[in-house]
Amino acid sequence: MTDLASNSAPRQTTERIAASLPRRYARDSRFRYYGLVAIGLALAFLVLLFVSIVSKGYSAFFQTEIRLLIEFDEDRLDPNGTRDPSVLAGADYGGLVKSSLRGLFPEAESRRDRKSLNRLMSSGAGFVLRDMVTNDPSLIGTAQEVWLPAAADIDMLIKGFIDRSKPASERRVNDKQIAWVDALQERDAIERHFNTRFFSAGDSREPELAGIWGAVVGSFYTLLVTILLAFPLGVMTAIYLEEFAPTNRWTDLIEVNINNLAAVPSIVFGLLGLAVFLNFFGLPRSAPLVGGMVLALMTLPTIIIAGRAALKAVPPSIREAALGVGASRLQVVTHHVLPLAMPGILTGAIIGTAQALGESAPLLMIGMVAFIVDVPTGPIDPATVLPVQIYLWADSPERAFVERTSAGIMVLIAFLVAMNLIAVVLRKKFERRW
């Protein structure tokens, strides 16, 4: 103390500060360096993840198709000539495909060979023809060149996922099929085309016919219900708790419980949904409506907590200013506090719904894991959602589902990015200069 009081004190202090400076700056730059390393690592993993998903999945966006000359034989499709839609829909289109193939490769005579030959084509090829004819019955009696989907195994062969050098017993296509495919390739009658079916169809047992659209629509309806329920409820709860509720033991209890709820494993919400929504209220199984309700329960605490934090961050001086000119408490909230808190509330809501989008466990409990072929047309049709669809495909043994799994993940990420973009646009709209 006497030291400090003496005349030399200022100089000593400067010297001490000067001596400590290099150490402090070194610490600064070290910290910056650690930060860069952390960001670099995170980015590297992200890139790795994306590269692996895209490299595995992009091939699913293309599908091998074979060009066949199809004779729409009136005798076989509509023997009575009535053009009755039910007759047209029930005709044997698979037969047309088979005879066209036989015309291409007449050398396949034995039963076994014919069976292998027919296996070049997807079982969905007949459906394509059926749709063509029912849309345009005038095709009957003509002959058309049509691109039809090849079987998944042939698709894999063309995409190079089947090793030709392996002995025939160890691969899923035999030597004759390979020879036929090569012959088709020579004639340019087998090509990879953009896979529109993947983006327009529901699930299927046949990989080449399976599409993601059913799950996209299911996820859309589910999230719509989630947002419509959780956002207004969550925001109103946050406003009430933050702006109106008296602080007493009850509100403390509610607060603790909301925080606990945010930490409850999601599958528990699924069990709750099963017990309450399905068994007690008798709502339909596998429906996006119920899925959305369950996910809304799960998302609510996130929105409430984020909403309260955003409301708390609005400076009290704004509230006082509004009260001071005679605004009612509700006017203070709706005119001033809520608009200022909106960007923060939206961030919380988007984090919550993004979580809900990736959630599958609670949906398993309410039957959204079922195999559903039809694209849902409303929130009470049976449906599945993107993560569940991805899980189902990942669980399938066929090689062709591997690429579809990765492609499904890409669609899920695209969905997420689209959602975030909407949120960014909304935030920008609400943000004000301070």
Partner 1 sequence: MAALEMTTPDAAGNRPPKFSTKNVNVFYGEKQALFDVELDIVENQVTSLIGPSGCGKSTYLRCLNRMNDVVEECRVDGSILLDGHNIYDRSVDVVQLRAEVGMVFQKPNPFPKSIFDNVAYGPRIHGLTSNRAELVELVESSLIRAGLYEEVKDRLDNPGTSLSGGQQQRLCIARAIAVQPEVILMDEPCSALDPIATARIEELIDELRENFTIIIVTHSMQQAARVSQRTAFFHLGKLVEVGDTEMIFTTPQDQRTQDYITGRFG
Under the rule (CB under 8 A), what is the footprint of partner 1? 246-247, 315, 317-328, 331, 335-336, 340, 432-434
Minimum CB distance to partner 1 smaller for 29 or for 247: 247
Residue 434 beta carbon to partner 1: minimum distance, rounded to whole angstroms: 6
Minimum CB distance to partner 1 smaller for 281 or for 434: 434
Residue 308 beta carbon to partner 1: minimum distance, rounded to whole angstroms: 17
Residue 322 beta carbon to partner 1: minimum distance, rounded to whole angstroms: 7
Residue 433 beta carbon to partner 1: minimum distance, rounded to whole angstroms: 6
Residue 311 beta carbon to partner 1: minimum distance, rounded to whole angstroms: 15
Residue 296 beta carbon to partner 1: minimum distance, rounded to whole angstroms: 32
Minimum CB distance to partner 1 smaller for 280 or for 434: 434
Residue 237 beta carbon to partner 1: minimum distance, rounded to whole angstroms: 19
Minimum CB distance to partner 1 smaller for 138 or for 247: 247
Minimum CB distance to partner 1 smaller for 56 or for 319: 319
Minimum CB distance to partner 1 smaller for 166 or for 432: 432
Minimum CB distance to partner 1 smaller for 98 or for 335: 335
Q: What is the three-state SS of the chain? A: CHHHHCCCHHHHHHHHHHHHHHHHHHHHHHHHHHHHHHHHHHHHHHHHHHHHHHHHHHHHHEEEEEEEEEECCHHHHCCCCCCCHHHHHHCCHHHHHHHHHHHHCCCCCCHHHHHHHHCCECCCHHHHHHHHHHHCHHHCCCEEEEEEEECHHHHHHHCCCCCCCCCHHHCCCCHHHHHHHHHHHHCCCEEEEECHHHHCCCCCCCHHHCCCHHHHHHHHHHHHHHHHHHHHHHHHHHHHHHHHCCCCHHHHHHHHHHHHHHCCCHHHHHHHHHHHHHHHCCCCCCCHHHHHHHHHHHHHHHHHHHHHHHHHCCCHHHHHHHHHCCCCHHHHHHHHHHHHHHHHHHHHHHHHHHHHHCCCHHHHHCCCCCCCCCCCCCCCCCCCCHHHHHHHHHCCCCCHHHHHHHHHHHHHHHHHHHHHHHHHHHHHHHCCCC
